[in-house]
A and B are shown apart, each in its own frame.
Chain A
């Protein structure tokens, strides 16, 4: 076994160099085949009938009119008469037909009768939820520096202690903060193109989890997982919502089994938004007390929210977020609503926790009449992740890139230009991002070709390119010289892409396999070069003796020494194994500059700065793209997107893209990304960065709006209407 390590910054030939993604041309000329694009010969197109009611019982369902529609081949009923439906959009039946038009017509022809049941969707209204019996405790925690005595009632002691600390505080902030639910809204909707043939299933599935979804299909179809192949060469967005075949994927497979024809079943846009993933809301009431320096000494909060019909609210573990004072009390109430269950949304819990707690720090600065930067700086003593020094340095860099010092004014005290005021805000975040399980099989053929197989997937993060870069670096080749195969459940098992764990996992498995293979190759080459294997290195397409580069042979000549037997190596990394190649825990700081129109309430992004640590950066180009993208998604959550439900009927009223507002190119302003990679971080190895950059934007933008106007707009998204309401409340 080789001595696994990364090359130093100076030695590295490929790693750390901006590299265009290898599948870039395929994507930008439309030849990349996504699940939706796979057309199998003789395929049926399936469409779903979603329940129009948020809570009801099916009393009758008659699919026979659908079967009479020309072109309709099969109707699969998923919910029979008697079923209780708990959210709008739940799929009742699936129609498979020769064309999209026929399938849609078939769906319209199905006759269903419903008995309406009581609906509750007001997740923001805690009292109404309690009255409706929709609440449950999500837990809580109390931590105080002083311990209760042996005879003290713990709750009473905590009450008294919190009140005492608040009274003793120089500054007290009391407030309400919130963030509404949003959806994942993947542009490629959830779905699959499947073919059941000869007792085997081939499933092209839009998934973040090729290695872990075969068994989900198998269970339901009475197959073994080895009878199933899941493929996903390209996926049009997942963001945490595409880990399973889902019942609609299984339905497609069943229809294929019954009809003997391939089936394509992708959700329509409205069902994608209603069913296929949403992020829990969070609303928080809080009191904090701080000392004369603005360091928070006590935090007392209660938050609530909904993860829909089954999921919970935002975890209490991350409230307050990152900066946790020595004394705190926090609790959470889960609210059950008639909405589809929440799914993991990029950095689960963190964006909401950041939005409802780092806004409090900014309000403290407002109350103190101090620069928000200084108050954040003072509160770094409360950083619970050991990253205070990293944050301090990142804040310095971010402030420089933003021009914070030159531009900053106290809250609401900036110049007014017509109806426009401007402001700055910041926030900071953390994330784990440790490497996932990953296996890689590597084959070096005697003709010098290099090929790898790994059951991972590229969500658009650039995984393919990272795999190629790691192999190329190790062998002294260029990324275009190696062929990387990913995206099939038949390849060596690799973990699901979630939680920023992929780049770490695949870097581990590919580097390990490549170093092992190279060691074997060195053993063959050493006698030829009259050297020891340990003295060799692979650089610039040649294998040579360290310190004597003239003693070398080409990569091809070296591989020819393999004779007629390719060299094949499989290596695995198991998540959690300490390794010099990867690590976990990152820090990031973000700053926003906004302009607010006091007459219209419209907030415009002027500039955004993101400083992000992710250990060692393999590909700075795609790494930066993750951060640009995270910031844009954060801007979406801060200013644009929200799931709007009719409070009486529970209907999701903005479930089409014309109403579900997302930012456009002209809405995001200037974004500056800084990859924070000093030696202290680089030496930690690779850490994922998919989640971190999406965490801080909402809090940073909220703080910038408050800095501009002097008024806190309590609940995200900060729409013109909400901005105006907040301004009016002050007036």
Chain B
């Protein structure tokens, strides 16, 4: 069991049970706010802070992490577990770069609170490297579906999730089914070929 913990020792004397209420991602934390109910008033902004220990399964391993209630799943993965495959590109869920699987379904880690994942199974792109290379990243390499590569982990996970759902997707389904990810370098034609090779070859594992 891995343990991760944020260093807050440098700031003593404040309540740990506060978080910013009303910030975009805070809705899921409302229940917790009601429990912790430590509310501070600061310059007209209602501030509620808190921390919570959650247990999740990350890439098959159980992990216990203490997170701020406002911490996104992406921040938790990147800063507390050093799993930096999922990328921070936008916070409004418009680019797909932070795509991971939560209980087998694609989700945007940048737009999801960590505490909303308590008890869930998280699968990140890093898991596709082991025990042997998954066919999706393999096809991305073969078809050079990556340039700078910053969108690639999110794209790989989106494709993995798409193929789990549509193992025999048609060309049209591929063109219609992978529009949640942005690639600035323009690898779309290569991603398309990579996916096509997997549905055609039946090798998408």
Contact = CB atoms under 8 A, between A and B. Distances in A.
Nearest to A73: B10
A109 B44 CA distance: 11
Contacts of A105: 20, 47
A549 interface: no
Contacts of A626: 147
Contacts of B147: 459-461, 625-626, 629
Contacts of B20: 101, 105
A429 to B, nearest CB: 17
A656 B129 contact: no
B92 A657 contact: yes
Given A30-B124, A105-B20, A460 B185 contact: yes
A31 interface: yes
A666 B179 contact: yes
Contacts of A577: none
A629 B183 CA distance: 9
A665 B155 CA distance: 11
Interface string A246-270: 0000000000000000000010010
Interface in A1-60: 20-21, 23-25, 27-34, 36-37, 39, 42, 45
B144 A24 contact: yes
A20 B144 contact: yes
A665 B82 CA distance: 30
A668 B182 CA distance: 12
Contacts of A188: 87, 89, 148, 150
A580 to B, nearest CB: 29
A23 B89 CA distance: 21
Given A36-B88, A666-B178, A28 B144 contact: no
A643 to B, nearest CB: 15
A70 B42 CA distance: 12
B6 to A, nearest CB: 7
Interface in B58-103: 68, 70-71, 75, 78-79, 82-95, 97
A39 B68 contact: no
A247 to B, nearest CB: 22
B175 A656 contact: no
Interface stretch (A130-138, A233-241, A377-385): A233-241
Contacts of B8: 71, 98
Contacts of A666: 175-176, 178-179
B146 A269 contact: no
A516 to B, nearest CB: 31
A671 B183 CA distance: 16
Contacts of B119: none
B77 to A, nearest CB: 10
A28 B140 contact: yes
A266 B83 CA distance: 18
A101 B43 CA distance: 18
Interface string B175-192: 110111111111111111
B107 to A, nearest CB: 16
B89 A37 contact: no
Interface string B143-160: 011111111110010000
B7 A21 contact: no
B125 interface: yes
Given A27-B146, A36-B88, A629-B147, A70 B79 contact: no
Contact of B141 (A20, A237, A461): A20
B87 A664 contact: no
B10 A187 contact: no
Contacts of A236: 87, 148-150
Contacts of B153: 27-30
Contact of A657 (B14, B49, B95, B145): B95
Contacts of A657: 89-90, 92, 94-95, 182
Contacts of B7: 42, 98
Nearest to A39: B82
Nearest to B176: A666
Contacts of B68: 99, 101
B6 A625 contact: no
B45 A27 contact: no
B133 interface: yes
B10 A98 contact: yes
Contact of B92 (A28, A71, A656): A656
A197 to B, nearest CB: 18
A24 B190 CA distance: 13
Given A632-B189, A666-B178, A25 B129 contact: yes
Contacts of B14: 70
Given A187-B182, A657-B89, A625 B190 contact: yes
Interface string A662-674: 1111111011000
Contact of B11 (A70, A625, A665): A70
B184 A37 contact: no
Among B11, B45, B47, residue most surrounded by chain A Cβ atoms (within 10 Å): B11
B39 interface: no
A506 interface: no
B87 to A, nearest CB: 7
B91 A269 contact: yes
A276 to B, nearest CB: 13
A37 B144 contact: no
Nearest to A671: B189
Nearest to A619: B144
B117 interface: no
A622 interface: yes
Among A28, A459, A621, A657, residue most surrounded by chain B Cβ atoms (within 10 Å): A28
Contacts of B133: 25, 29
A25 to B, nearest CB: 6
Contacts of B128: 28-29
Contacts of A636: 186
B53 to A, nearest CB: 16
B189 A628 contact: yes
A100 interface: yes
B71 A101 contact: yes
A194 interface: no
A209 B89 CA distance: 22
A70 B185 contact: no
A664 B182 contact: yes
Contacts of A319: none
A32 B84 CA distance: 9
A664 B186 contact: no
A656 B150 CA distance: 18
A98 B80 CA distance: 12
B46 interface: no
A645 B49 CA distance: 36
Contacts of A36: 84, 87-88
A187 B87 contact: yes
B152 A27 contact: yes
A664 B188 contact: yes
A28 B149 contact: yes
Contacts of A631: 186, 189
B187 A237 contact: no
Contact of B18 (A70, A633, A668): A70
Given A98-B10, A666-B176, 7 more contacts: A29-B125, A70-B14, A108-B45, A187-B182, A628-B189, A662-B184, A664-B188
Nearest 9 CB-CB pairs, A to B? Answer: A30-B85, A632-B186, A236-B150, A460-B148, A27-B149, A460-B147, A24-B141, A37-B84, A629-B186
30 contacts: A20-B144, A24-B140, A27-B153, A28-B125, A28-B140, A28-B146, A28-B152, A28-B153, A29-B137, A29-B156, A30-B84, A30-B153, A32-B149, A34-B84, A36-B88, A45-B79, A98-B11, A101-B71, A460-B146, A460-B147, A628-B187, A631-B186, A632-B185, A632-B189, A633-B185, A633-B186, A657-B95, A657-B182, A665-B178, A666-B179
